Amino acid sequence: MYMLFILLLITCFNGALGDYATVATACRGELESSLPTINSQDEQQFLNKLINKYKIVDSVWLDAGVKDKHIVWTDSTSADYENWIPGRQINNSNCVEMVTDQAHIGQWLDEPCNKKNAYLCKRVVMWSGQRTERLIRDNRRVLDNYMKHTTILLNSAIAIIEHLLVAQQDTDAKIALLEQTKVPIGFIYTQLPDQADPKTLWPTYTWSDVTATYAGQFFRAEGSGSLAFGKGVQAENSPRLSNVHYESTVDYAKDITLIPGEWSKYIYSGSEITGATDYFLKFWMTGGEVRPRNQAVRIFRRVK
Ligand SMILES: *[C@@H]1O[C@H](CO)[C@@H](O)[C@H](O)[C@H]1NC(C)=O
């Protein structure tokens, strides 16, 4: 089972401001979300676009503190990416905000935690390939819930979701690719000698060894002399003499060859003592398959 994560941002533009603790608590409590975290240039640029598009003028608290003059994200994610305004002393006792003025758009600044900043909360949505409509529906519910507690420009929030849906088309394409390449439940894997066990190839799946169901049986492609598909196990067979027939006074041969699936020619077998009648035999050789050379295989079925 795979999961992809979509970052969903919900902003409050009504001019409400709060210190770090207040805004962090508001984000966590009401929205099951948190203040923004930024772990890459891409995420930073995405936030910068939001600042521009929705004309956010106040600085925004990030979900982080400072240690040894470096960012420490509250969710313990990587601090490899940093975007501080250059040339400033970083105070380990401060909180971290993202500034919104054009000169330093999106860059980080440490400020006393009791400074009042704008509300900007992010919500991480687990996305497992459901329809887009469902995402919108779920988030309208979240927005409605949010509106009970604070004033929000609903249209702006919806616009942000729509903006994200564009980014999601790319994600949907990736999901489609995953759907094509994943192994479905019920998939049958035939392990040939010297080839990998399916538990090695797909360690996250659960495989059941169903070999015993087919113990000792051969498989042949449908058609030709094969029993029809699903009609059970074909009886074993090989060419053998199965019928003999006698007749009197027929054309006959001195030498005969037994051909599978055909009556042979007659061959002389003797006559009555009186010499009045001669008797002849013919033979039936069954048709059948030649037993193949073979190796045992193992058959697995994905069950979970
Ligand atoms: C560092 O930040 C703390 C808390 O905001 C403040 O009390 C202190 O004065 C600051 N120190 C410096 C050197 O700016």
Contact 200 CB / ligand 1 (< 6 Å): no
Topology, domain 4-180: Mannose-Binding Protein A; Chain A (3.10.100)
Residue nearest to atom 3 of ligand 1 (CA): 93
Kindly give the interhelix angle for 132-149 and 154-181, rounded to the nearest 10 degrees: 150
- For 36-73, the pLDDT digits (tens) are 889 888 888 878 887 887 777 889 999 999 999 999 99
Contact 112 CB / ligand 1 (< 6 Å): yes
Please tell me which residue, 257 or 217, carries the higher pLDDT value. 257
CB 198: neighbour CB atoms within 10 A?
21
Q: Is the model's pLDDT at 78 over the cut of 60? A: yes
pLDDT band at 172 (very low <50, low <70, confident <90, very high): low
Distance (angstroms) between ligand 1 centre and the Cα of 3 equals 42
Model pLDDT, residue 127? 47
Contact 261 CB / ligand 1 (< 6 Å): no
Model pLDDT, residue 1? 27
Model pLDDT, residue 155? 44
Contact 94 CB / ligand 1 (< 6 Å): yes
Question: 108-117, 123-132, 237-246: which has the minimum mean pLDDT?
Answer: 123-132
Q: Is the model's pLDDT at 266 over the cut of 50? A: yes
Q: Which residue is associated with the tokens 């051909």?
A: 259
Q: What is the mean pLDDT of residues 97-104?
A: 93
- For 269-300, the pLDDT digits (tens) are 988 887 778 899 999 988 765 455 556 667 78
> What is the identity of the amino acid at 71?
I
Percent over 70 (pLDDT), the chain: 69
pLDDT band at 178 (very low <50, low <70, confident <90, very high): low
Radius of gyration, CA atoms only, the chain: 39
Q: Which two tokens stand for residue 128?
A: 């497992």
Model pLDDT, residue 113? 96
CB 207: neighbour CB atoms within 10 A?
20
Which one-letter DSSP state was computed for residue 34? B
Question: Structural domain boundaries of the chain?
Answer: 4-180, 188-234+294-302, 241-285
Distance (angstroms) between ligand 1 centre and the Cα of 93 equals 6
Distances in Å between the Cα of 299 and the Cα atoms of 115, 148, 187 are 66, 57, 10
Contact 115 CB / ligand 1 (< 6 Å): no
Please tell me which residue, 298 or 267, carries the higher pLDDT value. 267
Q: What is the mean pLDDT of residues 182-210?
A: 84
Most confidently predicted of 14-28, 77-91, 199-213: 77-91
- For 90-99, the pLDDT digits (tens) are 999 999 999 9
Q: What is the mean pLDDT of residues 122-132?
A: 54
